[in-house]
Amino acid sequence: MDGIIPLWKPKGMTSHDCVGKLRGILQTKKIGHTGTLDPDVEGVLPMTVGKATKLTSFITDHAKTYLAEVSLGQQTATEDRAGEVVRSTPVSDDLTIADCQSVLKQYKGEIRQIPPMYSAVKVNGMKLYEYAREGLSVERPVRDIKIYDIECVDDQLNRYDETDVRFSFRATCSSGTYIRTLCVNIGETIGYPAHMSHLVREQAGTFERHETVTFEQLEAAKEAGEVETYIVNPRRTLTQLPVYKAPDQDIIRFKHGQVLTIPDRLKETTLFRVETKDGDLIALYQPHPSKTNLMKPYKVLHT
């Protein structure tokens, strides 16, 4: 049982909780998740199974698309609605959705971001949220991220009260982007304290919302003996990489991660997938950094 399960993570569960539940359903310990989602967030969370767990970090690095809601007027300690309000400012009646749309455009492209204190980023061996819970301050590392696309999805502001004025946006961004922090930054540019009031991950890498499966569906499939129908071939997540079909006589050599002669057409690539003629993914390979005309393994699945 090796491959990817495009799970729809429900609210109320951590990504680690999802790993545990899936282990129970599939009766295997080799389960990995491809990017942390907070308990209050639902959305696409590809899960790696069996030998495909070797691809977990690679898949985690893929771009992701989110549907987020910003609440203007209040900033919270955690940068989402679960946190204590630390700053509050009434939002002017003159603010329009067009003002917000204009600000969103400024965030497209490469930007720098400081992760929130309530996050799992480590500084000196401790996670930032551990410092925050102890009331300690620490210098947070600056991250370079990229917003590939961002657009407002509302045609008007939703005014709940003078310190809770909301609008939603959709953003496709690089791995490591904190949407909570993006919401706070957008609010600051508009001119108000802000926090993220709602978030859904609509896409992760090559998997979109309509392709996902719920825990309820997986449990029903297990009862019917059909759970493997939801396990996707791991090569699905690697479609952007060139493919090399290994000759039959070389398959065992690739499975053992041997250094081999590289085909001319792949010498200028950075990474490519190696498959059998039937499309079974064997490994990821790359040009050898110091030995001309050779290639070396990056990840071997069949070991």
Written as six digits, the tokens of 186 are: 């957008």
Written as six digits, the tokens of 195 are: 């926090």
289 contacts: CB under 8 Å, gap ≥ 6: 296
C-alpha dist (Å) from residue 70 to 76, 127, 176: 12, 26, 19
Q: Pick the catalytic residue: 17, 38, 94, 99? A: 38
CA distance 38 to 212: 18
C-alpha dist (Å) from residue 94 to 59, 191, 206: 44, 12, 41
- Would residue 38 show up in a list of annotated catalytic residues for this protein? yes
CA distance 207 to 33: 14
Catalytic residues: 38
